[in-house]
Amino acid sequence: MMTHEQYLSTKRFPALDGLRAIAALLVVVFHYGGPSWAMANGWIGVHLFFVLSGFLITTLALREEDRNGRISLANFYIRRAFRILPVYFAVLGIIVVFTYLRGQYTSSGLSGAMPYFLTFTNEFAHNAPFGQSWTLGVEQKFYLVWPFMAFGIAALSFPKRLGLAIGLIALMIALIPVMPYAGAYSPIIIGCALAIGLHYRKGFAILRVFTHPLASFVLLAALVVLQTHVTDIEAFFQDGGTVGGTTYAVLVALLITSLIPRGPIAWLFSTPPMRFIGERSYSVYLLQGVAATVVALSIPQLGTHRTLTAIAVTVVALVISDVLYRWVEMPMIDVGRKVVAWRGTRSDARRRPSPPDPTVRDVEPALASG
């Protein structure tokens, strides 16, 4: 099993790229795989994205706090902006041009939904193209609130920080009946709670059992069983998915723990094909509607949702996503890092009379970003 020191020294979690790939493929299959994939309940792939996002963002913040004594909220928001906004607006631009050229910009509902898409209140843009972007509206609000609460007000101890996360999870679950999309926030904060637990020695001691190589087999099997029966669970409890969804998010969090050390499942999730899809999963998720339209126009027989349609949509989305990944996503992430490094250099210059060492760069850990 992994030690706490080994965990803290791990700078990249490659298996999580594979987990992100599975999340993206589940969503595509759910939308375009047809009735034969109904039992897979691919919509739950969004929960995977959410838990991963909360875990990675909080882990980065905790490690920055350890290095510098505090986190820079300004640098956090700069990194997030350069990570999320360029690809988001590139895809939105593609969709606008696409629908306009087809004479559907107004009739499709896209024009009426643009105020929501431009202000990241996407979850309130109903019955419009680019509907899957509702998750971006949720995550942007999370990015605004969570870092400020957990790191911006004061340096919190482990019990207080973990208590804050657990309290927010309970609050979001309690608000499900009265507040739309409240339930979407609890998986993200479960990921945050996992990051907090693993970062501090006391929490890691409790979770360490899940770093055993066999744990990933058990947890993955439990997730598959739960995912294929989650609809039945929701029907049984009649709670809007609170029990099934929360249990699933907790199991995903534990699976993340089991994928950090080396093991057979971690190796499988770290293979080049899985990492290739995972690294481009953000664009694949956003582009799936465009890809589906391209497929249907090119091969009318694939206009009907079925397994072959889902495969074709995935391939087309990956091709376009690879272009965006190489020419938009990675270059803009690098720009964001340079801006952060430049701000650090200016800050050093104000504090010290001598110029900073040009060989030193303030670069965030090489964790896969959410």
Q: Name the burial class of residue 78, with classes exposed (0-12), middle (13-18) and buried (19+) by CB atoms within 10 angstroms of its CB.
A: middle
Residue 345 to residue 164: CA distance in whole angstroms: 34
Residue 349 to residue 344: CA distance in whole angstroms: 9
Q: What percent of the chain has pLDDT over 90?
A: 81
Residue 283 to residue 247: CA distance in whole angstroms: 28
pLDDT at 359: 33
Confidence of residue 213 (pLDDT cuts 50, 70, 90): confident
Confidence of residue 153 (pLDDT cuts 50, 70, 90): confident
Give me the chain's average pLDDT, please. Answer: 91
Lowest mean pLDDT among 122-131, 204-213, 252-261, 339-348: 339-348
Confidence of residue 366 (pLDDT cuts 50, 70, 90): very low
Nearest to 334 by CA among 140, 86, 83, 89: 83
Q: What is the mean pLDDT of residues 165-184?
A: 91
The pLDDT tens digits of the residues spanning 265-313 come to 999 999 999 999 999 999 999 999 999 999 999 999 999 999 999 999 9
pLDDT at 35: 94
Q: What is the mean pLDDT of residues 129-135?
A: 93
Tell me which of 119 and 357 has the higher pLDDT: 119
Tell me which of 236 and 252 has the higher pLDDT: 252
Residue 155 above 80 pLDDT? no
Nearest to 17 by CA among 209, 276, 290: 276
